[in-house]
């Protein structure tokens, strides 16, 4: 039991987020008959998938003490490239996936290498690469373009019971990354580097390699998100990533991972993604305009941050 708590880095914040999820769910059930239907709940899950994937990547980067703002540009470029290659049959689809994964990893490699070897703040580096990649996506195409095989699109719309395939995939990736953080040396190193870089260095942790690897992993996960997003749209949108740079950070913070690095984990991020998605859905049901949803989201960030600021003291 202790191990499970440690492995998931569960803490009081998770109980708070969980309680909020149940509260929001209860409000949803009370407000509308259509809320707790499989159809609606599947819709909520579908909306979570892309954000969940990107937030997972962001969690790893933030745990290591960095930040990745390149998702806006990276997702756009990756979506376009994928749709251009994926074509109509399984063979091109596989090629597309392979190409996009390689491209995502390279983007991460560039981010990581510049951060580590030129000593530039990752915020600036990823802001730069994001801008470049946004331009690249639009240079490739101004309008949504390309296609994915129909069977792939259909596949992404199917569900296993109440759960869309996309969501199952997200869950397994979270489990996988969670296991990586708990069960591999690389995972331990991420926490060590994020918590205290100098101490990690003295302890013989390969700090530079760890950081670079983290950005590569982030790029890979962005590629996975791009494959999903393109599959759902059916085309590659050169503006697909707009907003994901900052949006990806909210669930990480609300889920209890500290921006300073070293503290937190993927369970919190997942719960926060669920909370934010359910909240949006329920507020829609009670006819609260999206304007107020933003206000609530902003206040949740402030609440979460002050909660941790007080605890850290």
- 3-state DSSP percent of the chain in helix, strand and coil, to 5: 75, 0, 20
Other CB atoms closer than 10 Å to residue 275's CB: what's the count? 24
Query: Which one of the spans 37-45, 148-156, 163-171, 285-293 is the region binding other proteins (CB under 8 A)?
Result: 285-293
Element (H, E) at 239: none
Nearer to other proteins among residue 34 and residue 183 (C-beta): 183
Nearer to other proteins among residue 41 and residue 258 (C-beta): 258
Sequential DSSP letters for 73-84: HHHHHHHHHHHH
Please identify which residue in 106, 143, 172, 306 interacts with other proteins, judged by CB under 8 A. 306
Give the dihedral sign, CA 103/99/59/272: positive
Nearer to other proteins among residue 33 and residue 185 (C-beta): 185
Tell whether residue 204 is a contact of other proteins (CB under 8 A). yes
Nearer to other proteins among residue 152 and residue 182 (C-beta): 182
Task: Map residue 160 onto helix, strand or coil.
Answer: strand
Query: Which one of the spans 33-41, 79-87, 113-121, 154-162 is the region binding other proteins (CB under 8 A)?
Result: 113-121
Enumerate residues 177-196 that contact other proteins by CB under 8 A: 182-185, 188-189, 191-192, 194-196
Query: Which one of the spans 98-106, 125-133, 214-222, 277-285 is the region binding other proteins (CB under 8 A)?
Result: 125-133
How many angstroms separate the most distant Cα atoms in the chain?
59
Looking at 196-313, list the stretches that DSSP marks H as alpha helix, in order from N- to C-terminal side.
Answer: 197-202, 207-233, 244-247, 249-254, 266-285, 290-312
Enumerate residues 63-102 that contact other proteins by CB under 8 A: 67, 73
């Amino acid at each position: 039991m202790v191990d499970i708590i440690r492995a998931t880095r569960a803490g009081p914040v998770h109980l708070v987020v969980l309680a909020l999820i149940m509260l929001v769910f209860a409000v949803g059930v009370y407000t509308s008959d259509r809320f707790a239907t499989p159809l609606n709940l599947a819709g909520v899950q579908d909306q979570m998938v892309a954000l969940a994937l990107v937030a997972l990547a962001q969690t790893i980067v933030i745990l290591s003490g960095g930040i990745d703002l390149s998702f806006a540009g990276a997702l756009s470029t990756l979506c376009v490239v994928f749709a251009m290659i994926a074509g109509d049959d399984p063979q091109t689809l596989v090629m597309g996936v392979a190409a996009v994964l390689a491209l995502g990893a390279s983007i991460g490699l560039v981010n990581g290498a510049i951060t580590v070897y030129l000593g530039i703040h990752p915020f600036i580096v990823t802001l730069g690469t994001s801008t470049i990649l946004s331009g690249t996506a639009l240079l490739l195409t101004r309008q949504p373009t390309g296609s994915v095989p129909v069977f792939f699109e259909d596949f992404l719309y199917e569900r296993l019971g109440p759960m869309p395939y996309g969501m199952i995939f997200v869950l397994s990736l979270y489990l996988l990354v969670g296991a990586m953080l708990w069960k591999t040396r690389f995972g331990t190193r991420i926490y060590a580097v994020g918590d205290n870089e100098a101490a990690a260095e003295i302890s013989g942790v390969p700090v530079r390699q760890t950081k670079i690897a983290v950005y590569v992993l982030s790029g890979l996960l962005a590629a996975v998100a791009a494959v999903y997003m393109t599959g759902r749209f059916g085309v590659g949108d050169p503006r697909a990533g707009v907003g994901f740079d900052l949006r990806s950070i909210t669930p990480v913070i609300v889920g209890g991972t500290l921006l300073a690095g070293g503290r937190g984990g993927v369970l919190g991020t997942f719960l926060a993604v669920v909370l934010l998605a359910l909240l949006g859905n329920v507020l829609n049901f009670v006819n609260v305009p999206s304007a107020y949803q933003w206000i609530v989201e902003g206040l949740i960030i402030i609440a979460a941050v002050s909660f941790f600021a007080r605890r850290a003291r």
